[in-house]
Structure 1
Amino acid sequence: MKLYKTDSIARRILGWKLNRWDRWYDYEMGKFIHESDFQPEHNLEHAMLIVERLEKFGFSFSSDGVSEASFNDVRGTGETLSQAITNAAYTMIENTSVVESTRLWNQLC
């Protein structure tokens, strides 16, 4: 499940394209990202890439600084802030309807 969650975030929020089963390609930066180099649940710097991307598209980020994160009205929790950010982002992906999804993902990607 963790890899699926990370892959969904990489592709649907960050706009990276799947290049091989174990890496994505970031067209904006012109580089390959191996799955071991993007671990947002375990690395706050990686999780903040998600925050930056969603803020760029108008989402408001808030957090208690420890184990809870929100993007607008979508909330996620975790043992760490990086897990909470990842969980909130994935919840956005899971809960977005087909109509909203088309509009949202056209903006993001």
Structure 2
Amino acid sequence: MNKTDAIARRILGWKLNRWDRWYDYEKGVFINDSDFQPGQNLDHAMMVAEKLENLGYKFSAAGECEVWFNDVRATGETLPQAITNAAYSIIENTSVINSSTLWRKLC
């Protein structure tokens, strides 16, 4: 799974409808893979940032290629890449936390 797929599933809550299309249950629309490119499109990246803010993360940008979501810092060649990298870092960190919590419950 690439960064865009992980962000669509874990942050935006979209479901894979077909191999090349997502379904956004909140809006009731289908989104083609090629129509969601947060690493290249600032509007798409800001949509991810807004969703993270709704989930309790405070977004701040330091220039054109560095962003923060709470204590998660990421950089990229562009602002959309930095936002995408930070969002993916949050996903990776949250997955580790969730799996360790799961193991504590199981043991």
TM-score norm. by structure 2 comes to 0.87
**Is residue 2:32 matched to residue 1:34?**
yes
**Is residue 2:41 matched to residue 1:52?**
no
Deviation per CA, 1:7-31, whole angstroms, max 9, x where unpaired? 0000100000011111110001100
Higher relative contact order (CA 8 A, sep 6+): 1
Q: Structure 1: give runs of 5+ residues left out of the alignment.
A: 103-109
How well do the aligned residues superpose, as a CA RMSD in angstroms? 1.7
Query: Which residue is equivalent to 1:61?
Result: 59
Q: For the pair shown, which has the larger CA radius of gyration, 1 or 2?
A: 2
CA distance in 2, matches of 1:28, 1:100: 27
- Report the CA distance between 1:53 and its aligned residue: 0.3
CA distance in 2, matches of 1:35, 1:65: 29
CA distance in 2, matches of 1:60, 1:98: 19
Partner secondary structure for residue 67 of structure 2: strand
Aligned length, in residue pairs: 100
What is the correspondence of 1:77-96 to structure 2 with a 5 Å cutoff? 77-96=75-94
Question: Closer, same or farther in 2 for the Cα pair 1:55/1:101, shift >3 Å?
Answer: farther
Q: Structure 2: give runs of 5+ residues left out of the alignment.
A: 102-107
Percent identity between the aligned chains?
A: 68
- Report the CA distance between 1:100 and its aligned residue: 7.6
